[in-house]
Chains A and B, each alone.
Chain A
Amino acid sequence: MQRRCFHSESSFVCCVWLYVAGGAGLYCNRTWDGWLCWDDTPAGTVTWQNCPNYFPDFDSTEKATKICSESGQWFRHPDTNRTWSNYTLCNFHTTGKLKMAYILYYMAIVGHALSIASLLISLAIFFYFRNLSCQRITLHKNLFVSYVLNSALTLIYLIAVVNNPDVVGRNPVGCKVLHFFHMYMLGCNYFWMLCEGIYLHTLIVVAVFAEEQHLHWYYLLGWGFPLVPASIHAVARKKYFDDNCWMSVETHLLYVVHGPIMAALLVNLFFLLNIVRVLVTKLRDTHRAESNMYMKAVRATLILVPLLGIQFVIFPWRPENRLAGEVYDYIMHILMHYQGLLVATIFCFFNGEVQAALKRQWIQYKAQWGQRRRDHCSMRSTSYTATSITEVPAFMYHHDCNSEHLNGRHTSEDSELVALKTGETYA
Protein backbone atom coordinates (compact mmCIF):
# COMPACT_ATOMS: atom_id res chain seq x y z
CA MET A 1 0.00 0.00 0.00
CA GLN A 2 2.84 2.38 0.75
CA ARG A 3 4.10 2.36 -2.83
CA ARG A 4 0.92 4.07 -3.97
CA CYS A 5 1.68 6.95 -1.66
CA PHE A 6 4.20 8.48 -4.04
CA HIS A 7 1.99 9.48 -6.94
CA SER A 8 1.58 13.01 -5.73
CA GLU A 9 1.28 15.20 -2.72
CA SER A 10 -2.42 14.45 -2.38
CA SER A 11 -1.84 10.72 -2.23
CA PHE A 12 0.93 11.19 0.32
CA VAL A 13 -1.32 13.31 2.50
CA CYS A 14 -4.12 10.81 2.13
CA CYS A 15 -1.89 7.91 3.14
CA VAL A 16 -0.75 9.91 6.11
CA TRP A 17 -4.28 10.61 7.18
CA LEU A 18 -5.46 7.08 6.63
CA TYR A 19 -3.36 5.86 9.51
CA VAL A 20 -4.76 8.24 12.07
CA ALA A 21 -7.32 6.59 14.33
CA GLY A 22 -10.93 6.67 13.14
CA GLY A 23 -14.38 6.99 14.73
CA ALA A 24 -17.28 4.67 15.61
CA GLY A 25 -20.66 3.66 14.13
CA LEU A 26 -21.58 1.96 10.90
CA TYR A 27 -19.61 3.65 8.18
CA CYS A 28 -17.43 2.87 5.22
CA ASN A 29 -13.78 3.18 6.15
CA ARG A 30 -11.75 6.05 4.83
CA THR A 31 -9.80 4.89 1.82
CA TRP A 32 -7.50 5.83 -0.99
CA ASP A 33 -8.83 4.61 -4.32
CA GLY A 34 -5.74 5.45 -6.34
CA TRP A 35 -6.80 8.93 -7.38
CA LEU A 36 -8.57 10.55 -4.45
CA CYS A 37 -8.88 10.20 -0.70
CA TRP A 38 -12.35 9.40 0.63
CA ASP A 39 -13.36 10.19 4.20
CA ASP A 40 -15.30 7.96 6.60
CA THR A 41 -18.79 7.94 5.13
CA PRO A 42 -21.98 6.93 6.97
CA ALA A 43 -23.52 3.75 5.59
CA GLY A 44 -26.14 4.24 2.91
CA THR A 45 -24.93 7.63 1.67
CA VAL A 46 -23.24 8.91 -1.47
CA THR A 47 -20.22 11.12 -0.94
CA TRP A 48 -18.66 13.43 -3.50
CA GLN A 49 -15.74 15.70 -4.06
CA ASN A 50 -14.21 17.70 -6.85
CA CYS A 51 -12.45 15.82 -9.63
CA PRO A 52 -8.65 15.76 -9.50
CA ASN A 53 -6.64 17.63 -12.10
CA TYR A 54 -4.17 14.84 -12.87
CA PHE A 55 -5.34 14.43 -16.45
CA PRO A 56 -5.69 17.15 -19.08
CA ASP A 57 -9.26 16.23 -19.86
CA PHE A 58 -10.43 16.14 -16.25
CA ASP A 59 -12.41 19.21 -15.24
CA SER A 60 -11.70 19.95 -11.60
CA THR A 61 -15.00 21.78 -11.19
CA GLU A 62 -16.93 18.58 -11.85
CA LYS A 63 -17.79 16.05 -9.16
CA ALA A 64 -16.58 12.54 -8.50
CA THR A 65 -18.90 10.36 -6.41
CA LYS A 66 -18.56 7.23 -4.29
CA ILE A 67 -21.38 5.14 -2.86
CA CYS A 68 -21.26 3.69 0.63
CA SER A 69 -23.73 0.83 0.85
CA GLU A 70 -26.08 0.07 3.74
CA SER A 71 -23.78 -2.57 5.13
CA GLY A 72 -20.84 -0.25 5.59
CA GLN A 73 -18.94 -1.40 2.54
CA TRP A 74 -17.89 0.68 -0.41
CA PHE A 75 -19.75 0.11 -3.64
CA ARG A 76 -18.25 -2.61 -5.80
CA HIS A 77 -18.56 -2.48 -9.55
CA PRO A 78 -20.72 -5.42 -10.72
CA ASP A 79 -18.38 -6.32 -13.57
CA THR A 80 -15.11 -6.58 -11.67
CA ASN A 81 -16.37 -6.89 -8.07
CA ARG A 82 -13.80 -4.36 -6.95
CA THR A 83 -14.45 -1.13 -5.07
CA TRP A 84 -15.17 1.58 -7.60
CA SER A 85 -15.52 5.35 -7.54
CA ASN A 86 -17.48 7.20 -10.19
CA TYR A 87 -15.24 9.54 -12.15
CA THR A 88 -17.30 9.51 -15.34
CA LEU A 89 -18.55 13.07 -14.97
CA CYS A 90 -15.00 14.43 -14.81
CA ASN A 91 -14.36 14.16 -18.52
CA PHE A 92 -17.90 13.81 -19.77
CA HIS A 93 -18.47 17.36 -20.96
CA THR A 94 -14.84 18.13 -21.62
CA THR A 95 -14.92 18.28 -25.40
CA GLY A 96 -17.77 20.78 -25.39
CA LYS A 97 -16.13 22.91 -22.74
CA LEU A 98 -12.82 22.79 -24.56
CA LYS A 99 -14.47 23.96 -27.75
CA MET A 100 -16.10 26.84 -25.96
CA ALA A 101 -12.87 27.76 -24.24
CA TYR A 102 -11.19 27.97 -27.63
CA ILE A 103 -14.03 30.12 -29.00
CA LEU A 104 -13.66 32.53 -26.08
CA TYR A 105 -9.91 32.54 -26.51
CA TYR A 106 -10.12 33.46 -30.18
CA MET A 107 -12.80 36.05 -29.38
CA ALA A 108 -10.43 37.66 -26.91
CA ILE A 109 -7.62 37.73 -29.46
CA VAL A 110 -9.86 39.25 -32.14
CA GLY A 111 -11.18 41.80 -29.66
CA HIS A 112 -7.76 42.99 -28.66
CA ALA A 113 -6.52 43.05 -32.24
CA LEU A 114 -9.51 45.15 -33.34
CA SER A 115 -8.97 47.43 -30.36
CA ILE A 116 -5.33 47.99 -31.24
CA ALA A 117 -6.23 48.72 -34.88
CA SER A 118 -9.00 51.20 -34.08
CA LEU A 119 -6.94 52.91 -31.37
CA LEU A 120 -3.96 53.33 -33.67
CA ILE A 121 -6.22 54.85 -36.33
CA SER A 122 -7.65 57.24 -33.73
CA LEU A 123 -4.18 58.21 -32.55
CA ALA A 124 -3.17 58.84 -36.14
CA ILE A 125 -6.20 61.09 -36.59
CA PHE A 126 -5.44 63.03 -33.43
CA PHE A 127 -1.81 63.52 -34.33
CA TYR A 128 -2.51 64.42 -37.95
CA PHE A 129 -5.16 67.05 -37.34
CA ARG A 130 -3.20 69.46 -35.19
CA ASN A 131 -6.03 71.95 -35.03
CA LEU A 132 -7.97 69.47 -32.92
CA SER A 133 -5.32 69.60 -30.23
CA CYS A 134 -6.25 70.81 -26.83
CA GLN A 135 -5.77 69.54 -23.34
CA ARG A 136 -8.69 67.16 -23.44
CA ILE A 137 -7.42 65.58 -26.65
CA THR A 138 -4.03 65.20 -25.00
CA LEU A 139 -5.70 63.20 -22.25
CA HIS A 140 -7.49 61.14 -24.92
CA LYS A 141 -4.17 60.41 -26.59
CA ASN A 142 -2.66 59.19 -23.33
CA LEU A 143 -5.73 57.05 -22.68
CA PHE A 144 -5.50 55.50 -26.13
CA VAL A 145 -1.80 54.77 -25.73
CA SER A 146 -2.48 52.99 -22.45
CA TYR A 147 -5.22 50.94 -24.10
CA VAL A 148 -2.93 50.01 -26.99
CA LEU A 149 -0.21 48.87 -24.60
CA ASN A 150 -2.71 46.96 -22.49
CA SER A 151 -4.13 45.15 -25.51
CA ALA A 152 -0.65 44.36 -26.80
CA LEU A 153 0.44 42.93 -23.45
CA THR A 154 -2.76 40.93 -23.13
CA LEU A 155 -2.26 39.48 -26.59
CA ILE A 156 1.29 38.47 -25.76
CA TYR A 157 0.12 36.99 -22.47
CA LEU A 158 -2.70 35.02 -24.10
CA ILE A 159 -0.62 33.66 -26.94
CA ALA A 160 2.63 32.96 -25.11
CA VAL A 161 1.45 31.86 -21.68
CA VAL A 162 -2.22 30.92 -21.54
CA ASN A 163 -2.14 28.77 -24.67
CA ASN A 164 1.16 27.18 -23.70
CA PRO A 165 1.00 24.66 -20.82
CA ASP A 166 4.70 23.82 -20.95
CA VAL A 167 5.63 27.44 -20.31
CA VAL A 168 3.28 27.42 -17.33
CA GLY A 169 4.83 24.17 -16.19
CA ARG A 170 8.35 25.53 -16.46
CA ASN A 171 7.27 28.66 -14.57
CA PRO A 172 9.99 31.08 -15.80
CA VAL A 173 10.44 34.45 -14.11
CA GLY A 174 9.56 36.14 -17.41
CA CYS A 175 5.92 35.12 -17.24
CA LYS A 176 5.56 36.63 -13.78
CA VAL A 177 7.18 39.86 -15.01
CA LEU A 178 4.71 39.83 -17.90
CA HIS A 179 1.86 39.37 -15.44
CA PHE A 180 3.15 42.33 -13.42
CA PHE A 181 3.18 44.59 -16.48
CA HIS A 182 -0.26 43.31 -17.42
CA MET A 183 -1.63 44.38 -14.02
CA TYR A 184 0.17 47.73 -14.37
CA MET A 185 -1.37 48.46 -17.78
CA LEU A 186 -4.79 47.43 -16.54
CA GLY A 187 -4.44 49.99 -13.78
CA CYS A 188 -3.24 52.61 -16.27
CA ASN A 189 -6.38 52.14 -18.37
CA TYR A 190 -8.75 52.84 -15.54
CA PHE A 191 -6.69 55.59 -13.98
CA TRP A 192 -6.54 57.47 -17.27
CA MET A 193 -10.34 57.24 -17.41
CA LEU A 194 -10.30 58.71 -13.92
CA CYS A 195 -8.00 61.50 -15.15
CA GLU A 196 -10.52 62.33 -17.85
CA GLY A 197 -13.24 62.54 -15.26
CA ILE A 198 -11.18 64.67 -12.89
CA TYR A 199 -10.21 66.99 -15.74
CA LEU A 200 -13.82 67.57 -16.75
CA HIS A 201 -14.77 68.04 -13.13
CA THR A 202 -12.02 70.59 -12.56
CA LEU A 203 -12.92 72.36 -15.78
CA ILE A 204 -16.62 72.64 -15.21
CA VAL A 205 -17.24 72.59 -11.50
CA VAL A 206 -14.11 73.55 -9.63
CA ALA A 207 -11.99 76.03 -11.54
CA VAL A 208 -14.05 77.41 -14.34
CA PHE A 209 -11.58 80.17 -15.11
CA ALA A 210 -8.50 78.01 -15.36
CA GLU A 211 -6.72 79.01 -18.51
CA GLU A 212 -4.78 75.85 -18.85
CA GLN A 213 -4.48 73.24 -16.17
CA HIS A 214 -1.13 71.78 -15.30
CA LEU A 215 -1.21 68.28 -16.66
CA HIS A 216 1.72 67.03 -14.56
CA TRP A 217 -0.55 65.70 -11.87
CA TYR A 218 -2.63 63.86 -14.46
CA TYR A 219 0.45 62.22 -15.92
CA LEU A 220 1.48 61.18 -12.42
CA LEU A 221 -1.92 59.69 -11.66
CA GLY A 222 -2.27 58.01 -15.03
CA TRP A 223 1.19 56.57 -15.63
CA GLY A 224 2.96 56.68 -12.28
CA PHE A 225 0.42 55.70 -9.67
CA PRO A 226 -0.69 52.31 -11.12
CA LEU A 227 2.81 51.04 -10.29
CA VAL A 228 1.75 51.05 -6.63
CA PRO A 229 -1.04 48.46 -6.71
CA ALA A 230 0.81 46.37 -9.30
CA SER A 231 3.95 46.22 -7.13
CA ILE A 232 2.01 45.45 -3.95
CA HIS A 233 0.19 42.68 -5.82
CA ALA A 234 3.49 41.23 -7.05
CA VAL A 235 4.97 41.22 -3.56
CA ALA A 236 1.86 39.71 -1.98
CA ARG A 237 1.58 37.07 -4.70
CA LYS A 238 5.22 36.07 -4.38
CA LYS A 239 4.93 35.74 -0.63
CA TYR A 240 1.53 34.13 -0.16
CA PHE A 241 0.20 32.65 -3.39
CA ASP A 242 3.16 31.89 -5.63
CA ASP A 243 1.53 29.62 -8.19
CA ASN A 244 2.91 28.97 -11.67
CA CYS A 245 3.05 32.18 -13.70
CA TRP A 246 0.56 33.71 -11.23
CA MET A 247 -2.17 32.47 -13.50
CA SER A 248 -4.71 31.47 -10.88
CA VAL A 249 -7.73 33.72 -10.46
CA GLU A 250 -8.94 31.81 -7.39
CA THR A 251 -7.23 34.16 -5.00
CA HIS A 252 -8.48 37.26 -3.26
CA LEU A 253 -5.06 38.81 -3.73
CA LEU A 254 -6.27 39.97 -7.14
CA TYR A 255 -8.32 42.54 -5.28
CA VAL A 256 -5.06 44.34 -4.50
CA VAL A 257 -5.25 45.53 -8.12
CA HIS A 258 -8.99 45.40 -8.70
CA GLY A 259 -9.82 47.22 -5.47
CA PRO A 260 -8.16 50.51 -6.47
CA ILE A 261 -9.60 50.12 -9.97
CA MET A 262 -13.12 49.83 -8.59
CA ALA A 263 -12.44 52.77 -6.28
CA ALA A 264 -11.28 54.81 -9.28
CA LEU A 265 -14.43 53.87 -11.23
CA LEU A 266 -16.71 54.80 -8.35
CA VAL A 267 -14.95 58.13 -7.79
CA ASN A 268 -15.16 58.80 -11.52
CA LEU A 269 -18.85 58.04 -11.62
CA PHE A 270 -19.39 60.29 -8.64
CA PHE A 271 -17.52 63.17 -10.29
CA LEU A 272 -19.44 62.79 -13.52
CA LEU A 273 -22.80 62.70 -11.77
CA ASN A 274 -21.79 65.82 -9.89
CA ILE A 275 -20.92 67.55 -13.16
CA VAL A 276 -24.30 66.62 -14.56
CA ARG A 277 -25.95 67.95 -11.43
CA VAL A 278 -24.12 71.26 -11.69
CA LEU A 279 -24.89 71.61 -15.38
CA VAL A 280 -28.52 70.79 -14.95
CA THR A 281 -29.20 72.96 -11.92
CA LYS A 282 -26.97 75.96 -12.51
CA LEU A 283 -27.26 76.43 -16.20
CA ARG A 284 -30.65 75.06 -16.99
CA ASP A 285 -32.75 78.19 -17.09
CA THR A 286 -30.59 81.02 -18.28
CA HIS A 287 -27.63 79.39 -19.94
CA ARG A 288 -29.08 76.75 -22.14
CA ALA A 289 -26.50 77.09 -24.89
CA GLU A 290 -23.51 76.63 -22.61
CA SER A 291 -25.31 73.88 -20.75
CA ASN A 292 -25.79 71.95 -23.97
CA MET A 293 -22.20 72.54 -24.89
CA TYR A 294 -20.83 71.22 -21.63
CA MET A 295 -23.32 68.40 -21.69
CA LYS A 296 -21.95 67.23 -25.01
CA ALA A 297 -18.46 67.24 -23.58
CA VAL A 298 -19.54 65.16 -20.65
CA ARG A 299 -21.80 62.79 -22.50
CA ALA A 300 -19.10 60.63 -24.01
CA THR A 301 -17.34 60.12 -20.70
CA LEU A 302 -20.59 59.50 -18.92
CA ILE A 303 -21.46 56.69 -21.33
CA LEU A 304 -18.08 55.07 -21.09
CA VAL A 305 -17.51 54.91 -17.36
CA PRO A 306 -20.42 52.60 -16.52
CA LEU A 307 -19.65 50.44 -19.55
CA LEU A 308 -16.08 50.00 -18.42
CA GLY A 309 -17.08 49.33 -14.86
CA ILE A 310 -19.97 47.00 -15.28
CA GLN A 311 -17.76 43.97 -15.70
CA PHE A 312 -16.58 44.35 -12.11
CA VAL A 313 -20.14 44.55 -10.87
CA ILE A 314 -21.49 41.42 -12.55
CA PHE A 315 -18.26 39.43 -12.47
CA PRO A 316 -18.82 37.62 -9.16
CA TRP A 317 -22.22 36.26 -10.13
CA ARG A 318 -21.75 33.51 -12.65
CA PRO A 319 -24.98 31.55 -13.08
CA GLU A 320 -24.97 27.86 -12.22
CA ASN A 321 -27.10 26.86 -15.18
CA ARG A 322 -24.99 25.64 -18.11
CA LEU A 323 -26.63 27.71 -20.85
CA ALA A 324 -26.87 30.86 -18.75
CA GLY A 325 -23.25 30.37 -17.78
CA GLU A 326 -22.22 30.25 -21.43
CA VAL A 327 -24.16 33.42 -22.23
CA TYR A 328 -22.56 35.08 -19.21
CA ASP A 329 -19.09 34.06 -20.44
CA TYR A 330 -19.71 35.52 -23.89
CA ILE A 331 -21.02 38.82 -22.51
CA MET A 332 -18.15 39.14 -20.03
CA HIS A 333 -15.58 38.46 -22.74
CA ILE A 334 -17.11 41.06 -25.04
CA LEU A 335 -17.17 43.62 -22.23
CA MET A 336 -13.59 42.90 -21.25
CA HIS A 337 -11.80 42.48 -24.55
CA TYR A 338 -13.54 44.95 -26.85
CA GLN A 339 -13.15 47.94 -24.56
CA GLY A 340 -10.41 49.52 -26.65
CA LEU A 341 -12.65 49.46 -29.70
CA LEU A 342 -15.46 51.01 -27.67
CA VAL A 343 -13.25 53.78 -26.29
CA ALA A 344 -11.83 54.60 -29.73
CA THR A 345 -15.31 54.67 -31.25
CA ILE A 346 -16.94 56.86 -28.63
CA PHE A 347 -14.08 59.27 -28.03
CA CYS A 348 -12.84 59.57 -31.59
CA PHE A 349 -15.07 58.24 -34.32
CA PHE A 350 -18.28 59.60 -32.83
CA ASN A 351 -16.65 62.93 -31.96
CA GLY A 352 -18.21 65.71 -34.00
CA GLU A 353 -15.06 67.76 -34.39
CA VAL A 354 -13.14 64.75 -35.60
CA GLN A 355 -15.91 63.94 -38.08
CA ALA A 356 -15.91 67.54 -39.28
CA ALA A 357 -12.15 67.55 -39.68
CA LEU A 358 -12.24 64.31 -41.61
CA LYS A 359 -15.01 65.58 -43.85
CA ARG A 360 -13.07 68.75 -44.59
CA GLN A 361 -9.99 66.74 -45.39
CA TRP A 362 -11.96 64.44 -47.67
CA ILE A 363 -13.59 67.31 -49.54
CA GLN A 364 -10.25 69.04 -49.89
CA TYR A 365 -8.70 65.87 -51.19
CA LYS A 366 -11.55 65.31 -53.64
CA ALA A 367 -11.28 68.88 -54.89
CA GLN A 368 -7.54 68.59 -55.34
CA TRP A 369 -7.92 65.34 -57.17
CA GLY A 370 -10.67 66.84 -59.33
CA GLN A 371 -8.48 69.87 -60.03
CA ARG A 372 -5.61 67.64 -61.04
CA ARG A 373 -7.87 65.72 -63.37
CA ARG A 374 -9.10 68.91 -64.98
CA ASP A 375 -5.54 70.16 -65.41
CA HIS A 376 -4.59 66.87 -66.86
CA CYS A 377 -7.45 67.06 -69.36
CA SER A 378 -6.29 70.60 -70.36
CA MET A 379 -9.62 72.25 -69.93
CA ARG A 380 -8.55 75.48 -68.35
CA SER A 381 -11.04 77.78 -70.01
CA THR A 382 -13.92 77.32 -67.65
CA SER A 383 -13.76 76.96 -63.93
CA TYR A 384 -16.25 74.53 -62.61
CA THR A 385 -16.01 75.21 -59.00
CA ALA A 386 -16.24 78.52 -57.27
CA THR A 387 -14.76 77.31 -54.06
CA SER A 388 -12.76 74.21 -53.42
CA ILE A 389 -13.57 73.98 -49.78
CA THR A 390 -17.15 73.79 -48.70
CA GLU A 391 -18.07 75.44 -45.46
CA VAL A 392 -19.21 72.91 -42.94
CA PRO A 393 -22.43 73.94 -41.24
CA ALA A 394 -21.83 75.26 -37.75
CA PHE A 395 -24.34 72.94 -36.10
CA MET A 396 -22.12 69.95 -36.86
CA TYR A 397 -19.51 71.09 -34.38
CA HIS A 398 -19.59 69.43 -31.02
CA HIS A 399 -17.85 71.81 -28.74
CA ASP A 400 -15.47 69.32 -27.27
CA CYS A 401 -12.56 71.63 -26.93
CA ASN A 402 -14.22 74.98 -27.56
CA SER A 403 -15.20 75.28 -23.94
CA GLU A 404 -11.54 75.75 -23.13
CA HIS A 405 -11.14 78.49 -25.71
CA LEU A 406 -14.20 80.12 -24.22
CA ASN A 407 -12.61 80.09 -20.83
CA GLY A 408 -9.52 81.79 -22.14
CA ARG A 409 -11.19 84.54 -24.06
CA HIS A 410 -12.31 87.51 -22.00
CA THR A 411 -15.28 88.71 -24.01
CA SER A 412 -18.78 89.65 -23.15
CA GLU A 413 -19.78 86.02 -23.25
CA ASP A 414 -17.96 85.65 -19.97
CA SER A 415 -20.85 87.17 -18.12
CA GLU A 416 -22.59 83.81 -17.95
CA LEU A 417 -19.43 82.17 -16.75
CA VAL A 418 -18.94 84.87 -14.13
CA ALA A 419 -22.41 84.06 -12.86
CA LEU A 420 -21.44 80.42 -12.66
CA LYS A 421 -18.25 81.19 -10.77
CA THR A 422 -19.82 83.45 -8.21
CA GLY A 423 -22.26 80.71 -7.43
CA GLU A 424 -20.94 77.75 -5.43
CA THR A 425 -17.85 76.08 -6.64
CA TYR A 426 -17.67 72.46 -5.77
CA ALA A 427 -15.36 71.83 -2.88
Chain B
Amino acid sequence: MALDCTSLTKLTLVLCVAACGFPPVSGCSDAYGRAIPPLSSCSDAYGRAISDFCVTKFTLDMKALDQSLWCSWSDTFQPYEELTNCTYSVAHKMHCFWPNQQIDELFIRLHRDYFHDCALTGRLLRDPPIRILGPFIGVPVLVTLLMTALVVWSGKCCQGIV
Protein backbone atom coordinates (compact mmCIF):
# COMPACT_ATOMS: atom_id res chain seq x y z
CA MET B 1 0.00 0.00 0.00
CA ALA B 2 2.66 2.43 0.96
CA LEU B 3 4.59 1.65 -2.17
CA ASP B 4 1.56 2.23 -4.37
CA CYS B 5 0.97 5.57 -2.73
CA THR B 6 4.57 6.53 -3.26
CA SER B 7 4.69 5.67 -6.94
CA LEU B 8 1.31 7.21 -7.57
CA THR B 9 2.33 10.35 -5.80
CA LYS B 10 5.47 10.55 -7.80
CA LEU B 11 3.67 10.00 -11.07
CA THR B 12 0.99 12.52 -10.19
CA LEU B 13 3.56 15.05 -9.20
CA VAL B 14 5.65 14.64 -12.31
CA LEU B 15 2.64 14.77 -14.59
CA CYS B 16 1.17 17.72 -12.81
CA VAL B 17 4.30 19.76 -12.82
CA ALA B 18 5.07 18.86 -16.39
CA ALA B 19 1.62 19.99 -17.40
CA CYS B 20 1.09 23.08 -15.39
CA GLY B 21 4.09 24.14 -13.33
CA PHE B 22 3.61 23.94 -9.58
CA PRO B 23 -0.01 23.06 -8.99
CA PRO B 24 -1.73 24.36 -5.90
CA VAL B 25 -1.18 22.22 -2.89
CA SER B 26 -4.06 19.91 -2.26
CA GLY B 27 -2.56 17.03 -0.36
CA CYS B 28 -1.43 13.65 -1.33
CA SER B 29 -4.09 12.14 -3.61
CA ASP B 30 -3.96 9.31 -6.08
CA ALA B 31 -4.95 9.33 -9.69
CA TYR B 32 -8.58 8.54 -8.77
CA GLY B 33 -8.88 11.52 -6.45
CA ARG B 34 -8.93 9.46 -3.29
CA ALA B 35 -7.09 11.07 -0.42
CA ILE B 36 -4.09 9.13 0.67
CA PRO B 37 -3.10 9.37 4.31
CA PRO B 38 0.21 11.29 4.78
CA LEU B 39 3.37 9.27 5.07
CA SER B 40 4.61 8.86 8.57
CA SER B 41 8.23 9.09 7.56
CA CYS B 42 9.52 10.99 4.59
CA SER B 43 12.92 9.46 4.38
CA ASP B 44 13.14 7.23 1.30
CA ALA B 45 10.28 8.48 -0.80
CA TYR B 46 11.05 12.08 -0.33
CA GLY B 47 14.75 11.56 -0.90
CA ARG B 48 14.08 9.81 -4.17
CA ALA B 49 11.54 12.38 -5.26
CA ILE B 50 13.79 15.37 -4.83
CA SER B 51 16.76 13.49 -6.21
CA ASP B 52 14.97 12.58 -9.40
CA PHE B 53 13.20 15.82 -9.97
CA CYS B 54 14.85 18.76 -8.28
CA VAL B 55 18.48 17.76 -8.18
CA THR B 56 18.56 16.66 -11.82
CA LYS B 57 17.52 20.10 -12.96
CA PHE B 58 20.02 21.74 -10.64
CA THR B 59 22.85 19.57 -11.95
CA LEU B 60 21.94 20.42 -15.52
CA ASP B 61 21.81 24.13 -14.75
CA MET B 62 25.17 24.11 -13.02
CA LYS B 63 26.72 22.14 -15.86
CA ALA B 64 25.45 24.75 -18.31
CA LEU B 65 27.19 27.39 -16.21
CA ASP B 66 30.92 27.83 -16.69
CA GLN B 67 32.78 26.28 -13.76
CA SER B 68 34.61 29.53 -13.01
CA LEU B 69 31.25 31.12 -12.24
CA TRP B 70 30.16 28.55 -9.68
CA CYS B 71 31.37 30.83 -6.86
CA SER B 72 29.58 33.82 -8.32
CA TRP B 73 26.40 34.43 -6.35
CA SER B 74 24.65 36.42 -9.04
CA ASP B 75 25.07 33.53 -11.48
CA THR B 76 24.34 30.56 -9.21
CA PHE B 77 21.54 32.26 -7.30
CA GLN B 78 18.88 31.25 -9.82
CA PRO B 79 19.42 27.43 -9.93
CA TYR B 80 20.06 27.37 -6.18
CA GLU B 81 16.81 29.11 -5.36
CA GLU B 82 14.88 26.91 -7.81
CA LEU B 83 16.32 23.84 -6.12
CA THR B 84 15.33 25.11 -2.71
CA ASN B 85 11.83 26.03 -3.83
CA CYS B 86 11.46 22.67 -5.54
CA THR B 87 12.41 20.73 -2.42
CA TYR B 88 10.05 22.91 -0.41
CA SER B 89 7.15 22.27 -2.77
CA VAL B 90 7.75 18.55 -2.89
CA ALA B 91 7.95 18.43 0.91
CA HIS B 92 4.75 20.42 1.18
CA LYS B 93 2.93 18.12 -1.23
CA MET B 94 4.15 15.02 0.48
CA HIS B 95 3.25 16.49 3.85
CA CYS B 96 6.83 16.22 4.98
CA PHE B 97 8.57 18.59 7.32
CA TRP B 98 10.82 21.10 5.69
CA PRO B 99 13.77 21.33 6.15
CA ASN B 100 14.58 17.74 7.12
CA GLN B 101 17.48 15.36 7.21
CA GLN B 102 17.34 14.56 3.50
CA ILE B 103 17.58 18.21 2.72
CA ASP B 104 20.60 18.67 4.98
CA GLU B 105 22.40 15.69 3.50
CA LEU B 106 21.54 16.78 -0.01
CA PHE B 107 22.85 20.28 0.51
CA ILE B 108 25.99 19.08 2.22
CA ARG B 109 26.69 16.87 -0.79
CA LEU B 110 25.94 19.62 -3.30
CA HIS B 111 28.05 22.18 -1.46
CA ARG B 112 30.97 19.79 -1.34
CA ASP B 113 30.62 19.06 -5.02
CA TYR B 114 30.13 22.57 -6.32
CA PHE B 115 31.20 25.16 -3.75
CA HIS B 116 34.06 23.58 -1.83
CA ASP B 117 36.68 26.05 -3.04
CA CYS B 118 34.74 29.29 -2.88
CA ALA B 119 36.53 31.99 -0.89
CA LEU B 120 34.96 32.99 2.40
CA THR B 121 34.96 36.65 1.50
CA GLY B 122 33.10 35.94 -1.69
CA ARG B 123 33.70 38.28 -4.57
CA LEU B 124 34.36 41.46 -2.64
CA LEU B 125 36.30 43.93 -4.66
CA ARG B 126 39.97 43.73 -3.97
CA ASP B 127 43.13 45.15 -5.46
CA PRO B 128 44.85 43.27 -8.27
CA PRO B 129 48.04 41.42 -7.34
CA ILE B 130 51.26 43.38 -7.01
CA ARG B 131 52.60 42.17 -10.36
CA ILE B 132 49.74 44.06 -12.03
CA LEU B 133 49.52 46.95 -9.58
CA GLY B 134 53.25 47.63 -9.82
CA PRO B 135 53.42 48.50 -13.51
CA PHE B 136 50.16 50.44 -13.30
CA ILE B 137 51.73 52.75 -10.72
CA GLY B 138 55.33 52.61 -11.87
CA VAL B 139 54.76 53.51 -15.50
CA PRO B 140 52.97 56.85 -14.91
CA VAL B 141 55.61 57.86 -12.36
CA LEU B 142 58.42 57.07 -14.81
CA VAL B 143 56.65 58.89 -17.64
CA THR B 144 56.21 61.89 -15.33
CA LEU B 145 59.92 62.01 -14.61
CA LEU B 146 60.75 61.62 -18.30
CA MET B 147 58.36 64.37 -19.28
CA THR B 148 59.82 66.69 -16.66
CA ALA B 149 63.32 65.98 -17.91
CA LEU B 150 62.14 66.70 -21.45
CA VAL B 151 60.71 70.09 -20.48
CA VAL B 152 63.87 71.04 -18.58
CA TRP B 153 66.03 69.94 -21.48
CA SER B 154 63.96 71.92 -23.98
CA GLY B 155 64.42 75.04 -21.85
CA LYS B 156 68.15 74.44 -21.71
CA CYS B 157 68.64 73.70 -25.37
CA CYS B 158 66.71 76.71 -26.56
CA GLN B 159 68.68 79.35 -24.73
CA GLY B 160 69.78 82.12 -27.02
CA ILE B 161 67.20 81.19 -29.61
CA VAL B 162 64.54 83.84 -29.88
Contact = CB atoms under 8 A, between A and B. Distances in A.
Interface of A: 1-3, 5-6, 9-10, 12-14, 16-17, 19-20, 37, 194-195, 198-199, 201-202, 206-207, 209-214, 217-218, 220-221, 225, 228-229, 232, 236, 240-243, 248, 251-253, 255-257, 259-260, 263-264, 267, 425, 427
A5 B85 CA distance: 13
A13 B121 contact: yes
Contacts of A17: 118, 120
Given A1-B99, A6-B77, 12 more contacts: A2-B107, A6-B81, A13-B119, A16-B115, A17-B120, A19-B112, A195-B151, A198-B155, A206-B152, A243-B125, A251-B127, A425-B156
Nearest to A239: B128
A225 B148 CA distance: 10
B155 A213 contact: yes
Closest 4 CB pairs of A and B: A207-B159, A202-B155, A19-B111, A260-B144
Nearest to A210: B159
Interface stretch (B22-30, B31-39, B54-62, B130-138): B130-138
A2 B156 contact: no
Contact of B136 (A9, A211, A232): A232
A229 B136 CA distance: 9
B162 interface: yes
Interface residues of B, number: 47
Contacts of B151: 195, 198, 217-218, 220-221
A257 B136 CA distance: 10
B137 A207 contact: no
A396 to B, nearest CB: 31
Contact of B111 (A16, A195, A225, A236): A16
Interface in B27-76: 73-74
A220 B116 CA distance: 54
14 contacts: A2-B99, A9-B74, A12-B77, A12-B122, A13-B118, A37-B120, A199-B155, A206-B152, A207-B158, A212-B162, A221-B151, A228-B140, A242-B125, A259-B137
A195 B148 CA distance: 9
Given A20-B111, A213-B155, A241 B125 contact: yes
B2 interface: no
A13 B107 CA distance: 14
Given A16-B118, A221-B151, A253-B133, A207 B156 contact: yes
Interface on chain A toward B: helix, strand, loop, or mixed SS? helix
Given A201-B152, A229-B140, A259-B140, A213 B158 contact: yes
Contacts of A202: 152, 155-156
A217 B127 CA distance: 35
Contact of B120 (A13, A240, A260, A264): A13
Contacts of B81: 6
Most-contacted residue by chain A among B107, B123, B126 (CB, 10 A): B107
A17 B151 CA distance: 57
Contacts of A210: 155, 158-160
Contacts of B144: 225, 229, 260, 263-264, 267
Given A12-B73, A16-B115, A255 B137 contact: yes
Given A201-B152, A252-B133, A232 B111 contact: no
A2 B103 contact: yes
B43 to A, nearest CB: 19
A13 B155 contact: no
